[in-house]
């Protein structure tokens, strides 16, 4: 179970300090699929980097099963926005790099069989020995997902994995992610800028307000039965309701910038000494 309590993160820039995230509170149960939707530049990648352990929070605690997270590790698999495949390794070798790290004592045969299973899981068996530059964007992203799953992580963190793809490929990969979640029952946190994608895939959607000083809004549960059919969803009243609620929240509350520095000056008499005429 992943917990974030009062997490905040800021960066030092040339013009001063920028608080990117503040008061982030989140609890994710095992096996849950959570989607975090937000505006561009609101700090979504910062949030996922914090959970992945690639960045350290300035305030608050991030804990996995009660133990605070101090750094990255294979129990939190990450699929980066830019795939991050090593260009000089084939598909199988890229996945193999991860497998070797997590299962160093396996025999060659075990290793190869395991890698092949994951290559097949993302439907890339014919491209097993190809280099990333020979693959399309969608295929590269599938390799990234296979690599992240092959380390058998407790949590899978997806940082806008489909943003760089065309709509058709995006649809295909959304279906694959949904299928993987059904099959492997992993805890998944998906960062996306597409509300529809969140509703299609997740158990609940949490909006992230606009930055700087972004914080998480309320959870919107998605109580639509699985498997969710994309075409049928368009006519589903629950889908429309949730989509309206989340979008409205993002565009109203979510868009309001939080107060920056000191609390607002109160014009009401608060002192108990003055104005004691009751």
Residues that bind other proteins (CB under 8 A): 52-54, 71-74, 76-78, 80, 82, 84, 86-88, 97-98, 101-102, 151
Shorter beta-carbon distance to other proteins: residue 39 or 80? 80
Shorter beta-carbon distance to other proteins: residue 74 or 138? 74
Shorter beta-carbon distance to other proteins: residue 71 or 259? 71
- Shortest distance in whole angstroms from residue 176 CB to other proteins: 21
CA angle 33, 39, 43 (to 5 degrees): 75
C-alpha closest to that of 117 among 182, 180, 188: 180
CA angle 40, 258, 15 (to 5 degrees): 70
- Shortest distance in whole angstroms from residue 90 CB to other proteins: 12
- Shortest distance in whole angstroms from residue 130 CB to other proteins: 15
- Shortest distance in whole angstroms from residue 74 CB to other proteins: 6
Shorter beta-carbon distance to other proteins: residue 71 or 264? 71
CB 228 within 8 A of CB 178: yes
- Shortest distance in whole angstroms from residue 220 CB to other proteins: 29
Shorter beta-carbon distance to other proteins: residue 84 or 182? 84
The per-residue DSSP string of 208-250 comes to E--SSSB-B---EE--PPSSPPHHHHTT-HHHHHHHHHHHHHH
- Shortest distance in whole angstroms from residue 155 CB to other proteins: 12
Residue 247, token pair as written in the block? 């979008």
Contacts by residues 8-11 (CB-CB < 8 Å, ≥ 24 positions apart): 8/57, 8/58, 8/59, 8/60, 9/43, 9/46, 9/50, 9/55, 9/57, 9/58, 9/59, 10/58
Shorter beta-carbon distance to other proteins: residue 23 or 75? 75
Cα 76 to Cα 40, 47, 186, 272: the distances in Å are 24, 14, 11, 53
- Shortest distance in whole angstroms from residue 258 CB to other proteins: 29
Match 């993002």 to its residue by tokens: 250
Shorter beta-carbon distance to other proteins: residue 101 or 125? 101
How far is Cα of residue 76 from the mean position of the Cα atoms in its chain?
11
CB 215 within 8 A of CB 22: yes
């Amino acid at each position: 179970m992943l917990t974030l309590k009062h997490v905040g993160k800021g960066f030092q820039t040339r013009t001063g300090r920028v608080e990117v995230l503040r008061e982030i509170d989140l609890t994710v149960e095992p096996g849950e699929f959570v989607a975090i939707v937000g505006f561009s530049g609101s700090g979504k990648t910062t949030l996922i980097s914090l959970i992945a352990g690639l960045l350290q929070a300035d305030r608050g605690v991030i804990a996995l099963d009660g133990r605070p997270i101090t750094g990255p590790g294979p129990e939190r698999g990450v699929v980066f926005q830019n795939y991050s495949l090593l260009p000089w390794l084939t598909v199988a070798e890229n996945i193999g790099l991860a497998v070797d790290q997590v299962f160093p004592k396996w025999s060659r045969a075990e290793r190869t069989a395991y890698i092949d299973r994951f290559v097949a899981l993302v439907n890339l068996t014919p491209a097993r020995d190809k280099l990333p530059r020979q693959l399309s964007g969608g295929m590269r992203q599938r390799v990234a997902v296979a690599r992240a799953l092959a380390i058998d992580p407790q949590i899978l963190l997806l940082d806008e994995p489909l943003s760089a793809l065309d709509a058709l490929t995006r649809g295909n990969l959304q279906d694959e992610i949904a299928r993987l979640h059904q099959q492997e029952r992993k805890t998944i946190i998906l960062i996306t800028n597409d509300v529809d994608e969140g509703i299609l895939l997740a158990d609940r959607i949490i909006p992230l307000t606009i930055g700087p000083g972004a914080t998480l809004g309320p959870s919107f549960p998605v109580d639509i039965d699985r498997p969710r059919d994309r075409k049928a969803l368009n006519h589903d009243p629950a889908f429309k309701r949730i989509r309206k609620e989340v979008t409205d929240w993002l565009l109203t509350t979510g868009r309001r910038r939080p107060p920056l520095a000191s609390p607002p000056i109160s014009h009401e008499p608060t002192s108990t000494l003055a104005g004691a005429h009751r």
